[in-house]
Amino acid sequence: MINFSKIISKDFYFEKTEIVARELIGKLFVKKSANGFLAAEIIETEAYIADFDEANHANRGMTNRNQAMFSEGGVIYVYKIYGVHHCVNIVTELDGVGCAVLIRAAMPVSGLEEMIVNRGVSDENRLLKGPGCFAKGFDLDIKDNFKSILDDDIFLCEHKKYSDEEIAVTPRIGISKSADLPLRFFKKGCKFVSSKKFGN
């Protein structure tokens, strides 16, 4: 059994989005399920910042889809992409700002059996590799939009700390606007990182 005692406090999510994205690497994402706990170490994130970021869904103001992004830090924003996959974000900064961190990949730690069922594949290395896979492995979808990451059912814990040398910073993946900004963070050389192009 894993120690879930050091739960991340709310203050953490009010920090600047880039900082939160960087600091999320190494933390444990935990979700309570019928059989116990699903848990994974966050390995890869992307920041979507408030100003001059045209790839941010909130950049052109509030819409039906992106409402959750304008909540205060610590709220979960989930949406569907390409009509197929779900992407999970954690809202950052203050109420009304409109920024968040996308969780792109994680390393399974607990509840592997259930993740395998959720995903329909058994390759451990790929269970949570890529934003769509992460959402599916944890069974997160539109029903989880607007939930809090400070819940009893879904929360983050301290787990591992990495130095800046162990973390790579690159442009984000799969976007066409503001594609040059260095807002993607991942653990260098980790096989759970989603893109093959860099540092994997």
Partner DNA sequence: AACATGATCAACT
Partner DNA sequence: GTTGATCATGTTT
- When asked if residue 115 is in the footprint of DNA (CB under 7 A), the reply is no
- List residues bridging with 31 in a β-sheet: 38, 154
Q: Is 187 helix (H, G, I), strand (E, B) or coil?
A: strand
> How many CA within 13 A on the CB side of residue 9?
1
Among 16, 32, 126, 147, binds DNA (CB under 7 A): 126
Nearer residue to DNA within complex by CB, 156 or 181: 181
Q: Does residue 156 touch DNA according to CB under 7 A?
A: no
CA distance readout (Å), 42 to 69, 121, 130, 194: 20, 20, 11, 12
Task: State yes or no: residue 121 binds DNA (CB under 7 A).
Answer: yes
The Cα-based distances of 179 to 55, 94, 174, 175 in angstroms read 8, 25, 8, 6
- Is 172 a binding residue for DNA by CB under 7 A? The answer is yes
Q: What angle do CA 179, 182, 188 make, to 5 degrees?
A: 120
Please report whether residue 75 would count as binding DNA according to CB under 7 A: no
Inter-residue contact 157 to 6 (CB < 8 Å): yes
- DSSP class of 30: E
- The minimum distance between CB 27 and DNA, in angstroms, equals 18
* Contact pattern for DNA over residues 32 through 51, marking x by CB under 7 A: --------------x-x---
Nearer to DNA, 2 or 62 (CB): 62
Q: Is 61 in the site for DNA (CB under 7 A)?
A: yes
| Count of residues that bind DNA according to CB under 7 A | 40
Residue 167 DSSP SS3: strand
Q: Which of 10, 60, 143, 191 binds DNA (CB under 7 A)?
A: 60
Residues binding DNA (CB under 7 A)? 46, 48, 55-57, 60-61, 63-66, 69, 77, 79-85, 87, 89, 100, 102, 119, 121, 126, 129-134, 172-177, 194
